[in-house]
Amino acid sequence: MEKTSHLQGYLFVAIAGSLWGIGGFFVTQMSDAGASSLMTAFAGHFLALPPLLLFCWLGKVEVD
C-alpha cells in the first residue's frame, strides 16, 4: 500500500467525522425553524447526493 493512499484514507475519515459532527448543529437549526423530521432527513440526503455523484463521476470509485 502506498503511503499517499494510506494518508488519503485518514484524511477522508477525518473529513467525514467532522461533517458528521457538525450535522447536529444543522438539525437543531432546522428543528428550531419548524422543519419536520422527514424534511430534515430529506435535506441531509439531498445535500449529500451531489458531492457523491461528483466523486463517482470523476472516476475515483469503480462501480461493478
pTM flag (> 0.75): no
Model pLDDT, residue 12: 87
Q: Which amino acid is at 33?
A: A
Spans of all domains in the chain: 3-57
Tell me which residue of 21, 55, 26, 54 sits closest to 41, measured CA to CA: 26
**Cell digits of residue 9:** 484514507
pLDDT tens-digit readout, 9-57: 899 899 989 988 998 898 999 999 999 999 999 998 998 899 888 888 8
